[in-house]
Amino acid sequence: MMKGFKAFLIYLSLVIVLAFSLLFMVAGSSRYTEVDSIKLNGMVQTVKENWHNLDALREMKLDVDMLVFDKEDEKLYETSNIVFDGIDVPLDAVKESYITMPVNDKDKFLGTVVFANSSKVSYQKTVTKLFLITLAIAGVLLISYVVFIYYINRSIIKPFNRMKEFATLVAQGRLDEPLIMDKNNVFGVFTESFDIMREELKASKQREIALKMKEKELIASLSHDLKTPVTGIGAICGVLSVKVQDEYLKAKIDNIEQKTHEINTLLNDLLASALDDLGEMNVSISEEESSILNTIVKEHDVYGKVVAGEAPECILNIDKNRMSQVIGNIINNSYKYADTKIDITYGFNGKYLEMRIKDYGDGVDPEDVDFLANKFYRGKKNTAGKEGSGLGLYISTELMKKMQGQLICISNNDGFEVMLLIPLA
């Protein structure tokens, strides 16, 4: 690339030097020509001798351009209409610095002979040559400029734009498209390094994805493995609570059983989140009667705080196990954060059965509502000192999406409400 610039600068310098040299040579070739008065007098004498037959002068092949006027200033003879262009009367010749000489026959005035000013003619020829040379030089410089612009565009601008687009692709994480290598432009020396950087970033990203996948697999495996002993602890607590008569011990056992339920819920959420990241949180949709919702609500209302109407008769397109998980998450959240009665109402909303689950706690801050369905997000209100992973509403929202439904959070002045849009068959 640098060699190309140097070659162009050398070429441009040579063109400029040659142009000025040629201009000086042409300008210097113009010389002042002295007037040969003897020769001109002889020409006037010849004109006088052939006054009545001036056409005979053409046969003499005279080497001097002349224009002959009679005494009435009428043109009688002209060797070149180009040389004498604009000369219509002898006075015009005087104004243009042409040489004018009278033709007399003794005392009688016959007319006027106008001779071309050789110095002026030479000057005009020189000016014409300089104009043509200048025009040619301008043409050469213009062509050189166009070629140089094309060279700059091909060697700098286009490669720069390619690198700019490449940087944009890298920033977007699109690391599969290589950078076209061209060592003949100014960035050619960097092209290979940039492409090596792309390959390293791609390999690093693949390693990062692989590590994250292993992490999710580990979380899923541990969550699954931990559920068995936790379930066992809950079962033992259930047996002990029946057999133990001591009220103090019974309270402790009930507390342990409650904690096992909370741990089991957290493990379910972690497992579902890990399976979702691994693309394995599947739903199996089938047609179910709406009465299944009444059954699900009763299963999760362990504290008897739900006041629910009957779901209207219809057929739903849902995965009943996943639907149970969604409703259970919402009711458990109301238990945990509101600890009030829970109203459940139903209605039809287009192609959905609308199920509203409302508690009467302090609700959430309005600025938190849009983020409650985000993974690991917990509202700022009523969460201090309360266990939770911030996964319940996230998992419920994702499950509703997979069942072609929606979960919408609504914060009111008198509590918190979740609206489920359950798809109809």
In this prediction, residue 34 has a pLDDT band, given cuts at 50, 70 and 90, of low
**Is pLDDT of 36 > 80?**
no
The contacts of residue 300 (CB under 8 Å, 6+ apart) are 324, 327, 328, 331, 332
What is the share, in percent, of the chain residues with pLDDT greater than 70? 75
State pLDDT tens for residues 186-195: 555 566 676 7
Amino acid at site 83: V
- Name which CATH class applies to 282-423: alpha beta
Q: Hey, what are 424's tokens?
A: 């109809």
Q: Which pLDDT belongs to residue 214? A: 67
Of 47-51, 66-70, 151-155, 416-420, least confident by mean pLDDT is 151-155
CB atoms within 10 A of CB 300: 17
Q: What is the mean pLDDT of residues 261-281?
A: 64
Q: What is the mean pLDDT of residues 108-122?
A: 78
* Edge-to-edge strand list for the sheet holding 352-358: 306-308, 342-349, 352-358, 415-423, 406-412
Q: Which pLDDT belongs to residue 32? A: 47
Q: What is the mean pLDDT of residues 280-288?
A: 81
Q: Which pLDDT belongs to residue 359? A: 93
Q: What is the mean pLDDT of residues 216-223?
A: 59
**Is pLDDT of 281 > 50?**
yes
* CA–CA distance, 358 with 409 (Å, rounded to integer): 10
State pLDDT tens for residues 296-341: 999 888 888 999 989 999 999 999 988 998 998 899 888 888 889 9
Mind giving me the DSSP string for 126-191? Answer: HHHHHHHHHHHHHHHHHHHHHHHHHHHIIIIIHHHHHHHHHHHHHHTT--SSPPPP-TTSTTHHHH
Q: Which CATH architecture has domain 203-281?
A: Orthogonal Bundle (1.10)
**Is pLDDT of 77 > 50?**
yes
Q: Which pLDDT belongs to residue 221? A: 56
| Dihedral sign from CA coordinates of 149, 151, 156, 160 | positive
C-beta separation of 315 from 287 below 8 A: yes
Q: What is the mean pLDDT of residues 226-234?
A: 69
Q: Hey, what are 329's tokens?
A: 């998450």
